[in-house]
Amino acid sequence: MSLQMTRLSRDRAVTQWCSMPYRGKAKQFWKMSKEEWTLYQRHRFLEIYQDACTTIPYYRMRQQMYPELKLQEEPLENLLLELPILKKHTLQKHNLHFFPAKSAMGTARWSASDAVGSSLMVQATLQERGMEQAIFDWWKKQVTGTTRPRTIYLLGCMKQEGQTWLSHSHGANGVHLSIYHLHKRYKDEIVRFINDFDPQYIEGYPSAIYELAKLAGDSLFYRKNRTVAMAAAETLAPEWKAVIEQSLCSKVYDVHSSQEGAYGVFECSHGHKHIHPMFGIVEVVREDGTPTEQGEWGRLVVTGLLRKSMPLIRYEIGNRAAKGTAHGSCPCGVSWDWLESIEGRIGDQLQLEDGRRISMLVVNHMIDGMQGIEIHGAQLIQHTLRRFELLIAMKERDQGSRKYVQQSFRRRFTALVEPLCEVELELTFVTEIPREANGTMKLADVRL
Ligand SMILES: [Zn+2]
C-alpha cells in the first residue's frame, strides 16, 4: 500500500470514529418538520456568526459589513440578505484571515481547487469532519440500508509510482479503483473483482463510473440491483446516467458538496436534489444579488453550518443552480427544500491514444499538491490525442516561479496518463481563463 493510500485509510478511520457523537443528530434531520430545521438553522447560524465576528480576523476587522444582528423575529433569510456576499477571490485574497488565530488540536488544513481550477486553503477540526461524515453516513444508510456499505471508490488522486488498478483502503469495506486504469486490458480482472467483492455502493466521479459501466458492458448486468452509486464533483450527464443504470447499478444518485464543507445537496429516490439543513444554508441569487424565482438559474450562495474553524457566510461558491419549489413536500418523506438543478464541474473527458477517457478532474489533481503557488484559474485544452495545453492564471507575485510551475505540471500530467500513453503538455500563462458564450468556464476543453 502506498504512503498516500495509508494516510487516506488512516484519515478515513479517524473521521469515522469522530462521527460517532453526531450520528444521532444527523439521523434526526430525516424526521424533522420544516419548522424544526428552520429553527435549528437560525440558532446555529447566530452561534456561528457571533463566533466569527469575535474570533475570525476577516469578519472581526469588518464590523460595519458584519454588524451585531438584532435578535428580533426576522426570518433567517431576511437577516442573511442584509449581509454582503463573499466572493471567491476575496476569500482567496484573505485566505489565512478566515482561520482563527489558534487552531484546535487535530485541525487539518489542506489545499483544494474548484470547478475553475482556482486554489484555496481550507480547514476543519476533527469534530467538524466527524459531523460531515455523520451526514454522509446517514444518507448512505437511506440508499443502501447500512452506514458502512462495501464500497468502491472511483475517485482520483495523484497517481503513485507503481500504482495498480486496485488498492485496498481500510478494513474489509472499501477499495479504490484507479480512474487511470479503466482500460480494456484490465477488464477481465476488474469484472472478476466486482463479482467477488459484491459492492453495495460505488462513490466516484460520474465520468469514471460511466467509464466503468462501459468497460463492464453487460457482464455485471445480472448483479446491478445489488449496487447503488453516488456521483460527485462533476455534472452527471443524462447520457452517463442512462448507461450507468443500464449496466452497473440500480440507481446513481447525484450529490453535491465541496471542500469548503459549507453545503450538501443529496438526490433522493424521487429525483429531488434536497438541501441538507444541518450542512448549510443555500441561496440562489441573480447578478444583482436579489433572490431568484423557482426554476430560474442563478449563482449559488452558501452559508456553512458545520465549520467554526473556517466560517463562510454568504459565500458565492462558483456553481450555478435553480431552486425547486419551497412549499411542496416530497414523497421520499423529508421536509427539506430542494434544487431543481445544480451544476458541478463543466468540461470534457480527455481522450487518450489507447482509447481511455479520463476525467477533467486531473486538472484539480495536478493543482492540489502544488505548494506555495496561488492559482486563480486553469483550463486544460486537448488539441490532438497527444498534444495538450494547460492555461494557467497565476497571482502576479508568483510569476517568478513560472519555470518551476511549468516543470511540475509537466511531470505531474505525464505521471497521470503514462506509462500507457505518450503525451506532451504545453503551458500558457494567461491573465484570465476564457469563458464560454453562456458565461460558464470549462475545466477541460477537448478540441479533437
Ligand atoms: Zn425527496
Closest CA to 261 of 245, 272, 276, 271: 276
The alpha carbon of 192 and the centre of ligand 1 are apart by a number of angstroms equal to 35
* 72 backbone φψ class: left, alpha, beta (φ>0; ψ -120 to 50): beta
ipTM score of the complex? Answer: 0.99
Query: What average pLDDT does the segment 253-270 reach?
Result: 94
Cα 262 to averaged position of ligand 1 atoms, centre (Å): 21
How many angstroms does the Cα of residue 329 sit away from the middle of ligand 1?
A: 8
Distances (CA, A) of 24 to 128, 138, 150: 15, 9, 22
CA of 26 from ligand 1 middle (Å) equals 16
Residues 6+ apart with CB under 8 A from 371: 111
Calculate how far, in angstroms, residue 158's C-alpha sits from the geometric centre of ligand 1: 36
Q: How far is the CA of 87 from the centre of ligand 1 (A)?
A: 31
pLDDT surpassing 80 at residue 2:
no
Domains of the chain: 3-342 (3.40.50.12780), 350-446 (3.30.300.30)
pLDDT tens-place string over residues 174-231: 898 988 889 898 999 999 999 999 999 999 999 999 999 999 999 999 999 999 999 9
Ligand 1 centroid to residue 29 C-alpha, Å: 13
Q: What is the pLDDT of residues 405-428, one digit of tens each?
A: 888 888 888 887 766 678 899 999
Residue 337 vs residue 167, higher pLDDT: 337
In the predicted structure, residue 1 carries a pLDDT above the cut 50: no
Q: For residues 372-389, b (16+ Cβ closer than 10 Å) or e, as one string?
A: ebbbbbbbbbbeeeeebb
Query: How many angstroms does the Cα of residue 333 sit away from the middle of ligand 1?
Result: 6
Q: How far away, in angstroms, is 300 Cα from ligand 1 center?
A: 20
Distance 132 CA to ligand 1 centre (A): 20
Separation of CA 251 and ligand 1 centre (Å): 15
Q: Comparing 36 with 2, which gets the higher pLDDT?
A: 36
On whether the CB atoms of residues 153 and 408 are closer than 8 A, the answer is: no
Give yes or no for residue 105 having a pLDDT over 50. Answer: yes
What is the Å distance from ligand 1's center to 336 Cα?
A: 8
Ligand 1 center to 32 CA (angstroms): 14
Note the pLDDT tens digit of each residue in 151-165.
999 987 655 656 788
The C-alpha cell at 81 is 440578505
Cα 206 to middle of ligand 1, angstroms: 21
Residue with the bigger pLDDT between 5 and 277: it is 277
**Band of pLDDT at residue 100, cut at 50, 70 and 90:** very high
Q: Where do we find the cell 440578505?
A: 81
Crossing angle of the two packed helices 187-197 and 206-216, in degrees rounded to 10:
100
Gap from CA of 272 to ligand 1 centroid (Å): 5
Q: What percentage of the chain has pLDDT greater than the value 70?
A: 93
Residue 373 CA to ligand 1 centre (angstroms): 42
Query: Which whole number is the average pLDDT over 69-81?
Result: 86
The answer to whether residue 6 scores a pLDDT higher than 70 is: no
The pLDDT assigned to 304 comes to 98
Average pLDDT over all residues of the chain: 89
| In the predicted structure, residue 286 carries a pLDDT above the cut 70 | yes
Alpha helices in 198-315 (DSSP H): 206-216, 238-247
CA 266 to centroid of ligand 1, rounded, Å: 9
Q: Report CA(31)–ligand 1 centroid distance (Å).
A: 12
pLDDT value of position 411:
86
pLDDT for residue 323: 94
Between 162 and 295, name the one with better pLDDT: 295
Look at residue 17 and tell me whether its pLDDT is greater than 90: no
Distance 267 CA to ligand 1 centre (A): 7
The pLDDT of residue 158: 55
8 CA distance to ligand 1 centroid (A)? 32
Separation of CA 268 and ligand 1 centre (Å): 5
Q: Answer whether 209's CB lies under 8 Å from 237's CB.
A: no
Distance 187 CA to ligand 1 centre (A): 36
The whole-number pLDDT of residue 164 equals: 80
Tens of pLDDT, residues 299-335: 999 999 999 999 999 999 988 999 998 666 789 999 9
* pLDDT exceeds cutoff 90 at 50: yes
- How much distance in Å is there from the Cα of 141 to the middle of ligand 1? 15
